[in-house]
Amino acid sequence: MTTPARLVRVDDPSALELAVEAIRADRLVAVPTETVYGLACALTDAAVDRLVEAKGRDVGKGITLLVDDLADAARLVVESPAAQRLAASFWPGPLTMVVPLQPGVVLPYAVTGGTHAVGLRVPDQPFTRRLARALGPLPLTSANRSGEPDSRDAAEVQASVGGEVEVIIDGGRSPGGVPSTVVALGQDGSWRLLRAGPITQRELDQALRP
């Protein structure tokens, strides 16, 4: 794709329909969140390959799944009391939880990074949650080329990856500007901080304390 992305305001009545249509066609859609803008696509090999190419991303890094709530991913990941406590404390919000997959679940390699776990995120942005509710878990990564600064508004998305994206949903400037905190959860109840962010290790510890 070489043409500039279609820019649609988040409050445009057609915005959700256009985003859903593009994702169902295995195209990329840029969406606002409370941290930075993200690129969303369908959970298919073709769409994920397109996402990785647009980002210039190392396939071993893994890609978060956008969900509407923890139940949205119940068919993919193991039941986790720790995930339930963190979701109750911090979702919707700037927290990504890496949760083990259920036995037998296979996702595109670039989504898991070759592991048997996947990151889950519920952003505090109504439109983006509606998109997840409409289509189920969707791969979501920051809307910029790897190594470039994160995009905080639609113009920055257009400048970075606009030629690879079908639709940019313009929700104004993202207020956070810092990517989400990432925490990995073990099946034995253990956890570790993978990336510092808006939610601190102390806050995580307090939420997980019995």
Sorted by where each starts, the structural domains of the chain and their CATH numbers stand as: 6-208 (3.90.870.10)
b/e string for 53-62 if b means 16 or more Cβ within 10 A?
Answer: ebbebebeeb
Structure tokens at 5: 């992305």
For the chain, the 3-state helix, strand and coil shares in percent, each to the nearest 5, are 35, 20, 45
Which mean pLDDT values do the consecutive 10-residue runs of the chain (210 residues) have? Answer: 84 98 98 97 97 93 96 95 96 98 96 96 97 97 95 97 96 94 93 95 93
Nearest to 40 by CA among 61, 64, 58, 60: 64
Q: Which residues of 64-83 are buried (b: 16+ CB within 10 A; e: fewer)?
A: bbbbbebebbeebbbebebb
0.85 exceeded by pTM: yes
Place of tokens 């009545």: 13
Residue 194, helix vs strand vs coil: strand
Q: Tell me the CA end-to-end span of the chain in Å, nearest whole number.
A: 51
pLDDT on residue 2: 58
| Backbone φ and ψ of 32, nearest 5° | -80, 150
